[in-house]
């Protein structure tokens, strides 16, 4: 491993040759690297923004992006015909809580193809099946060769600065590449940034990996251009917020992070030059349909008021801010026109509710046939969801996480179980695919919170099921559970995968880690098993299950095709039945419904008891909501669900909380 780089090498040398032809000798060249396991179907938003910042805001500097994640697919495919899109997805996303993706590149980080193989195989014996373990070991053995070739390409281009982004399972690949680049050419300045470098994590990275010259913590739009400018001009670095650097003695120094989040007007639109051309030239072009990544807002308006107890997604900056509707729409349309792509993944942690009446109607009027993925809040009403659907949203992630009001209250989610079921129903009615996970393991939850819901799940099998089995809560850095032991989680340790990946003492791992192990809380395994069995049956039954209603004015006709209910058609007649069903469009208590209808509460309760036995309603915490979407064509949702099941997208595996929602 190379020794500590010198702290005083500024200004940058101006003798480096351009990679793409002649260029003025005094141009500072920056290469921004997107290592595995970044998603293949998405360009890097972070690097697209930083490229724009360098090219537009740093005179005399130019940036280009190296799509090493796509390079890796071609590199692997040239050596193995068995590596598939599902394999890449496993290491990029599905195995996040197992750390398999980062463990693969730990061999390159420590230049040891046998790095901790006995420890990893022993720890993962019950979590990773035989064929997957074999693939993981093969990738681990070859990781150093790929990183070495990537570093040689970077060094041969002779850049002044190389910046690596690190999010999710990119950390060891990025660190390993920085290590090799620095060994090949110590004059190249290496920089690491991204979600894995926020707060204490960035300090730990800089302290423990001396081949990383600088770490950018927090929002990079300010810090990274300021760093490149200072390096170019040979000026001091003291004014660069959030920067980790080394002093004259080689000791790591961390600048205070900015306390002011970046205003939305200062967030530039990304420059995705090169991504689509690189994907088109890759063997991965047949794997995916590429999407554009866009960003309308940062932070979480719900989290500012009620920080969900388990969520660490927003890191150092919770404050919500969003771009003006005009600016965001211009960005969307400009990117769509330039790249001829209509599929867009919106990275906002929560939809700006003002967009429902400002941005979305203008998107509808634009005539663009957009297909958007968005995170929303689960208490949105049917009319609002219809506006989303009309504007081009096809996938929403509403942060459902549980169907028990009591557990949702423990989470500080601000929604009820009946509201979450209403979201599933109205999503089906508007043609939205609802992506969600079922979490458990919260301090204070009880078996009854789950058993009451589990008994009712057969009535919901016509609605979109969660992505996999239930998942036990993992404690995340920046979450209230991490920051406040009084909420129930004590004796936190860095999650086991960190101990299998890094050669660091426990206290350094604690600062580096994002996920933490803690003594299990909440329900026992017997309750979990009952829940998982019911969720499995839901996923299996969903493609063939039906429940719809048609309101004909004087009567309401329902059609059911669900395994747990023998009836096939049902008519609700009379003012009490039709009135109550219409009222239950929204969650209501029997007392509320009785007042609205002017009927005795006992009659309402008797009718609700019957409807529950027929699977027409869901009830929790004293409220009821009907579960029958209107009779519209939902076949495409089911076809899409079947396709994901056949592609192996977690039919039997718990879906990881890669973007645990924050609402």
Q: What is the pLDDT of residue 645?
A: 52
CB 561 within 8 A of CB 548: no
Of 222, 239, 265, which marks where a domain is finished? 265
pLDDT category at 185 given cuts 50, 70, 90 is very high
CB 220 within 8 A of CB 58: no
pLDDT digits over 414-429, tens only? 999 999 999 999 999 9
CB 145 within 8 A of CB 173: no
Helix H or strand E encompassing 33: strand 28-33
pLDDT digits over 74-112, tens only? 999 999 878 999 999 999 999 999 999 999 999 999 999
In a domain, 643, yes or no: no
Cβ-proximal residues to 354 (8 Å cutoff; 6+ apart), any chain: 322, 325
pLDDT category at 658 given cuts 50, 70, 90 is very low
In a domain, 205, yes or no: yes
In a domain, 545, yes or no: no
- What DSSP character marks residue 630? B
**Which of 330-344, 450-464, 543-557, 630-644 shows the lowest mean pLDDT across its residues?**
630-644
- Give mean pLDDT, residues 125-143: 96
Q: How far apart are the first and last CA of the chain?
A: 44
pLDDT digits over 348-370, tens only? 999 999 999 999 999 999 988 99
CB 526 within 8 A of CB 451: no
In a domain, 215, yes or no: yes
In a domain, 142, yes or no: yes
Q: Between 646 and 611, whose confidence is greater?
A: 611
**What is the DSSP code string of 141-195?**
HHHHHHHHHHHHHHHHH--SEEEEE--STTHHHHHHHHHHHHHH-TTSEEEEESG
CATH for 154: 3.40.50.2300
Q: How many CB atoms lie within 10 A of CB 226?
A: 22
Mean pLDDT (the chain, rounded): 91
Of 265, 286, 318, which marks where a domain is finished? 265
Of 454, 486, 520, which marks where a domain is finished? 520
Residue 96 sits at the vertex; the CA angle it makes with 91 and 99, to the nearest 5 degrees, is: 80
Q: Between 15 and 602, whose confidence is greater?
A: 602
Q: What is the pLDDT of residue 219?
A: 93
Question: What proportion of the chain, given as a percentage, has pLDDT over 90?
Answer: 88
Q: What is the pLDDT of residue 647?
A: 52
Q: Is the pLDDT of residue 627 over 50?
A: yes
Establish how many alpha carbons lie within 13 A of residue 265's alpha carbon, considering only the half-sphere containing its beta carbon.
0
- Give mean pLDDT, residues 642-653: 45
Question: What is the residue range of 193's domain?
Answer: 28-265
pTM surpassing 0.85?
yes
Q: How far apart are CA 66 and CA 81, in angstroms?
A: 24
Q: How far apart are CA 75 and CA 332, in angstroms?
A: 33
Q: Between 53 and 10, whose confidence is greater?
A: 53
Q: 295 phi and psi, to 5 degrees?
A: -140, 120
Q: What is the pLDDT of residue 663?
A: 27
In a domain, 284, yes or no: no
CA distances from 480 to 292, 313, 397, 433 (A): 32, 11, 22, 30
In a domain, 616, yes or no: no
Q: Is the pLDDT of residue 653 over 60?
A: no
Q: Is the pLDDT of residue 138 over 70?
A: yes
pLDDT digits over 3-24, tens only? 333 333 334 543 333 333 344 4
Q: Is the pLDDT of residue 660 over 80?
A: no
pLDDT digits over 457-506, tens only? 999 999 999 998 999 999 999 999 999 999 999 999 999 999 999 999 99
Residue written as token pair 């992505």? 467
- What DSSP character marks residue 26? T
Q: How far apart are CA 141 and CA 106, in angstroms?
A: 10
CB 446 within 8 A of CB 283: no
E-strand ranges in 213-312 read 214-216, 243-246, 252-254, 292-294, 297-298
Q: What is the pLDDT of residue 633?
A: 53
pLDDT digits over 292-314, tens only? 999 999 999 999 999 999 999 88
Q: What is the pLDDT of residue 7?
A: 35
Q: How far apart are CA 298 and CA 278, in angstroms?
A: 29
**CA–centroid distance for 86 within its chain:** 17
When divided into structural domains, the chain yields a total of 2
In a domain, 559, yes or no: no
Q: What is the pLDDT of residue 656?
A: 34
Query: 396 in helix, strand or coil?
Result: strand
Helix H or strand E encompassing 362: helix 359-366
Q: Is the pLDDT of residue 635 over 50?
A: no
Q: What is the pLDDT of residue 636?
A: 43
pLDDT category at 259 given cuts 50, 70, 90 is confident
């Amino acid at each position: 491993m190379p020794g500590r780089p010198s702290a005083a090498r500024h200004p940058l040398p101006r003798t480096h040759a351009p990679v793409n032809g002649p260029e003025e000798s005094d141009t500072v060249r920056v290469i921004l690297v997107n290592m595995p396991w970044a998603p293949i179907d998405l360009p890097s938003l972070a690097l697209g923004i930083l490229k724009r910042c360098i090219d537009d805001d740093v005179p005399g500097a130019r940036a280009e992006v190296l799509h090493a994640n796509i390079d890796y697919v071609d590199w692997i495919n040239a050596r193995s015909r068995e590596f598939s899109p599902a394999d890449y997805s496993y290491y990029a996303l599905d195995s996040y809580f197992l750390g398999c993706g980062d463990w693969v590149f730990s061999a390159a980080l420590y230049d040891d193809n046998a790095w901790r193989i006995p420890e990893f195989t022993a720890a993962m014996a019950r979590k990773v099946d035989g064929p997957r373990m074999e693939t993981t070991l093969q990738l681990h053995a070859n990781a150093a060769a790929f990183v070495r070739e990537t570093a040689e390409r970077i060094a041969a281009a002779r850049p002044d600065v190389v910046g690596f982004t690190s999010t999710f399972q990119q950390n060891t690949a990025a660190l390993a590449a920085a290590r090799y680049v620095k060994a090949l050419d110590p004059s190249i300045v290496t920089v690491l940034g991204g979600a894995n470098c926020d707060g204490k994590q960035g300090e730990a990275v800089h302290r423990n990996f001396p081949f990383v010259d600088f770490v950018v913590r927090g929002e990079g739009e300010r810090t990274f251009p300021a760093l490149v400018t200072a390096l170019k001009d040979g000026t001091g670095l003291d004014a660069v917020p959030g920067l980790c650097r080394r002093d004259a003695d080689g000791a790591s120094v961390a600048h205070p992070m900015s306390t002011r989040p970046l205003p939305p007007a200062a967030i530039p639109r990304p420059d995705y030059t090169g991504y689509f051309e690189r994907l088109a030239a890759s063997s991965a072009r047949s794997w995916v349909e590429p999407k554009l990544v866009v960003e309308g807002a940062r932070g979480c308006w719900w989290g500012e008021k009620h920080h969900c107890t388990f969520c660490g997604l927003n890191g150092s900056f919770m404050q919500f801010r969003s771009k003006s509707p005009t600016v965001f729409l211009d960005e969307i349309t400009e990117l769509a026109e330039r790249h001829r792509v209509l599929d867009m993944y919106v990275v906002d942690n929560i939809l700006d509710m003002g967009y429902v009446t400002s941005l979305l109607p203008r998107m509808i009027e634009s005539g663009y046939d957009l297909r958007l993925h968005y995170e929303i809040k689960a208490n949105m009403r049917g009319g609002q969801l219809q506006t989303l659907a009309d504007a081009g949203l096809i996938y929403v992630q509403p942060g459902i996480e549980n169907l028990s009001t009591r557990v949702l209250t423990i989470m500080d989610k601000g929604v009820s179980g009946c509201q979450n079921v209403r979201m599933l129903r109205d999503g089906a009615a508007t043609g939205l695919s609802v992506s969600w996970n079922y979490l458990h393991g919260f301090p204070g939850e009880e078996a009854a919170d789950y058993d009451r819901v589990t008994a009712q799940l057969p009535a919901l099998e016509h609605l979109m099921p969660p992505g996999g089995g239930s998942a036990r809560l993992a404690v995340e850095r920046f979450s209230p559970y991490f920051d406040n032991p009084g909420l129930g989680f004590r004796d936190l340790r860095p999650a086991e995968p960190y101990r299998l990946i890094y050669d660091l003492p426990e206290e350094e791992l604690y600062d580096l880690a994002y996920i933490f192990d803690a003594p299990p809380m909440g329900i026992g395994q017997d309750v979990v098993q009952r829940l998982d069995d019911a969720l499995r049956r839901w996923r299996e039954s969903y493609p063939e299950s039906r429940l719809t209603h048609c309101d004909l004015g004087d009567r309401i006709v329902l059609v059911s095709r669900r395994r747990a209910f023998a009836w096939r058609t049902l008519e609700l007649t009379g003012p009490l039945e039709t009135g109550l069903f219409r009222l239950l469009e929204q969650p209501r208590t029997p007392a509320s419904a009785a007042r609205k209808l002017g009927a005795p509460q006992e009659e309402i309760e008797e009718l609700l008891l019957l409807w529950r036995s027929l699977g027409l309603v869901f009830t929790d915490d004293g409220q009821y909501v009907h579960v029958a979407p209107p009779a519209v064509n939902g076949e495409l949702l089911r076809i899409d669900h079947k396709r994901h099941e056949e592609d192996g997208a977690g039919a039997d595996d718990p879906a990881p909380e890669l973007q645990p929602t924050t609402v």
